[in-house]
Chains A and B, each alone.
Chain A
Amino acid sequence: KAGVTQTPRYLIKTRGQQVTLSCSPISGHRSVSWYQQTPGQGLQFLFEYFSETQRNKGNFPGRFSGRQFSNSRSEMNVSTLELGDSALYLCASRPGTVGNQPQHFGDGTRLSIL
């Protein structure tokens, strides 16, 4: 099975712009989660989608949003980019039907804000 695929791998934007990141989960996985990783704050949960519905949301401003499509692929969008949004954004998937399942992570999108 193919793993979790995130595109693009690297992205450079300027302050005030918006960006959309994409994630294709492992085939058959219906749960997709997004995490932000920075040197200062570490790994922080953004949100989780299951069957096109947001089930859980972390403590991030409304500039961060996401969605999931019927094929389980997910996108996250960040509007009005700030310098502090520079981070590695990781997507993870799991079957999602029961608890106690590990997350399978993609290699992330490295977002740099100039």
Chain B
Amino acid sequence: SQQGEEDPQALSIQEGENATMNCSYKTSINNLQWYRQNSGRGLVHLILIRSNEREKHSGRLRVTLDTSKKSSSLLITASRAADTASYFCATDAGNSGYALNFGKGTSLLVTP
């Protein structure tokens, strides 16, 4: 079942601009992860943020987590054409075994 919901569904920006994607979820989580998927390929892990963390950085990526609002955001600064891809948030509820619940993703287009 889908737990995360990304917003917007699609985003088109120019190179050099910042891109912000949001994710909301429904139940308590152990951690939240962001993944990127290029067309026809598998998912690439970007960042994992634990439920007790509020912000995390990795290169041009910044992720925030607000567990009180059950929401997260992914900021990509100084976007490049190579950032064109679909971005998914995924939540891990920490149940026995391991299952990620994915949102439907944000499709990002970065034009030169």
Q: Are B1 and A103 in contact (CB under 8 A)?
A: no
The majority secondary structure among interface residues of chain A is strand
Complex contacts, B100 vs chain A, CB 8 Å: 33, 35, 45, 103
Q: How far is the CA of A94 from the CA of B98 in the complex (A)?
A: 10
Interface residue? B80 (CB, 8 A): no
Interface residue? A66 (CB, 8 A): no
B side interface size, CB within 8 A? 29
Q: A43-B102, A45-B99 are in contact. Are A107 and B30 (CB under 8 A)?
A: no
Interface residue? B78 (CB, 8 A): no
A49 to chain B, nearest CB (A): 9
Interface residue? A15 (CB, 8 A): no
Q: Are A42 and B96 in contact (CB under 8 A)?
A: no
Q: Are A55 and B42 in contact (CB under 8 A)?
A: no
Complex contacts, A71 vs chain B, CB 8 Å: none
A21 to chain B, nearest CB (A): 13
Q: Are B97 and A55 in contact (CB under 8 A)?
A: yes
Q: Are B105 and A4 in contact (CB under 8 A)?
A: no
Complex contacts, B94 vs chain A, CB 8 Å: 99
B76-105 at interface with A (beta carbon < 8 Å): 88, 90, 92, 94-105
B30-44 at interface with A (beta carbon < 8 Å): 30-31, 33, 35, 40-44
Interface residue? B18 (CB, 8 A): no
B2-36 at interface with A (beta carbon < 8 Å): 2, 30-31, 33, 35
Give me the interface of A with B, judged by CB distance under 8 Å: 4, 31, 33, 35, 41-45, 48, 50, 55-59, 90, 92, 94, 96, 99-108, 110
**Can you identify 21 A-B contacts, CB atoms within 8 angstroms?**
A31-B98, A35-B100, A35-B102, A42-B2, A43-B88, A43-B102, A44-B102, A50-B97, A50-B98, A55-B96, A56-B95, A56-B96, A56-B98, A90-B43, A99-B30, A99-B94, A100-B31, A100-B50, A105-B44, A107-B41, A108-B42
Known pairs A31-B98, A103-B100, A107-B42; list 4 more (Cβ under 8 Å).
A42-B2, A56-B98, A99-B31, A100-B31
